[in-house]
Amino acid sequence: MRKIILAILGILLIIAAYFGAKAIADSKSTPRAKIEKAVKTVFVDTVRNKVVPILVPANGNLVARQRLELFAEVQGVFLPSNKLFRPGQRYRKGEAIIRINSSEYAASVQSAKSNLYNQITSVMPDLRLDYPDIYPKWAAYLQSFDLENSTPKLPTLDSDQEKFFITGRGILTSYYNVKNLEQRLSKYSIRAPYNGVLTEALVTEGTLVRGGQKLGEFINTDRYELEVALSKKFSDLLQVGRQVELTNLEKTQTYTGTVSRINSKVEQASQTVKAFIDVSHPDLKEGMYLEANLMARDETNALQIDRSLLLENDKIFVVRDSILDLIDVTPVYFTDENVVLKGVPEGLTIISKPVVGAYAGMLVKIYQENTSKTQ
């Protein structure tokens, strides 16, 4: 009897456990996670429209404003001097850069000058007898005649008789022949026309120099020129004499230049106009790369913002009652980093830093500590 009762109780417990477990399983429900609406914090600025200067960036390499290519017009041996004819050698104005041996040619010049002197001397007795009024000036000319110096200019021929007399004796022909020889003799020495430095040397001392041979290159180191190419739409905005700020490639040095010339021709391939900027500074050297910001014009009632804030080239985000909105704007000038806009209402609150995933109607929170204003 006891075994029967225990068996019945076990069966009842099993049945009760089954129905209890089923009831618990049926009543269990998975709770849904609460999705909290994210509110992003944004940085904003207040629009303050003002005059924005339009700066046109350009770059180029410096070139010496004054450059002299040295060529030999005569033939001879290149004579050594107290300065080596080497690149980097400096010369003062009037100092001899190149001297070519001219001893043989100088002797022929002296011979021609001596012949001229003898011709004038031979006509002096005739002048004294036939033309006593012009004799004193020719006598004074002979006294000033020095074979070691340049031949002095002949006295003025005041009358036809004097002109016929002097010309008939062959004096004018001999005089101009001597002056021609003296002019050629001066080409045996090349002197510096200005203070500068030798940038190229193609011959050395003792070399036989031939006529027409290039000897080197000499530049003025006081003034340089920067050639830049600008879009033709800015060509009519530039003015000769306007100052330009120049910087080196590392942005460590700043120089001030002046627009000296503007080419009227437009390059067909690039549709650009070349402008030339005159600059002078002791630290500058030919070939240096410089960047220029040319002042093109002033845009009134405009706003300058970061280029990354412009959407679809004509829209920006604004904040109205903690909600993002898009407004249309008119870009007037682009740089690598910024854009100049027009048509942005004064006092409007705009986004000052890009917001990831931003869209119109998005709920945002303004960063309170940001008090800067858009420039």
Q: Could you say which of 2.170.130.10, 3.30.9.10, 2.40.30.170, 3.90.740.10 is the CATH number of the domain covering 56-63+222-296?
A: 2.40.30.170
**pLDDT surpasses 70 at 35:** no
Region 69-98: what's the mean pLDDT?
Answer: 93
Confidence of residue 373 (pLDDT cuts 50, 70, 90): very low
Pinpoint the residues of the chain covered by CATH 2.40.30.170.
56-63+222-296
- What pLDDT shows up at residue 369? 61
Query: Cα(289)–Cα(61) distance, rounded to whole angstroms?
Result: 4
Strand bridging mode 364-366 / 40-42: parallel
pLDDT tens sequence across 98-151: 999 999 899 999 999 999 999 999 999 988 888 888 899 999 999 999 888 889
Amino acid in the structure at residue 34: K
Q: What are the tokens at 169?
A: 């004796």
For a pLDDT cut of 90, what percent of the chain falls above it?
36
**pLDDT surpasses 70 at 173:** yes
Which one is predicted more confidently, 364 or 55?
Answer: 364
**pLDDT surpasses 90 at 180:** yes
Question: pTM surpassing 0.85?
Answer: no
Cβ atoms of residues 104 and 154 within 8 Å = no
Amino acid in the structure at residue 265: K
For a pLDDT cut of 70, what percent of the chain falls above it?
93
42-54+300-366: CATH architecture: Beta Barrel (2.40)
- What pLDDT shows up at residue 274? 87
- CATH 2.40.50.100 correct for 66-101+188-219: yes
Contacts of 348 (CB under 8 A, 6+ apart): 46, 47, 318, 327
Pinpoint the residues of the chain covered by CATH 2.40.50.100.
66-101+188-219
Which one is predicted more confidently, 40 or 23?
Answer: 40
Query: Cα(199)–Cα(89) distance, rounded to whole angstroms?
Result: 8
Pinpoint the residues of the chain covered by CATH 2.40.420.
42-54+300-366
**pLDDT surpasses 90 at 54:** no
Helix (H) or strand (E) holding 20: helix 2-27
Averaged pLDDT of the chain: 86
Counts for the chain of helices (H) and strands (E), in that order: 5, 22
Confidence of residue 90 (pLDDT cuts 50, 70, 90): very high
pLDDT tens sequence across 346-357: 988 999 898 888
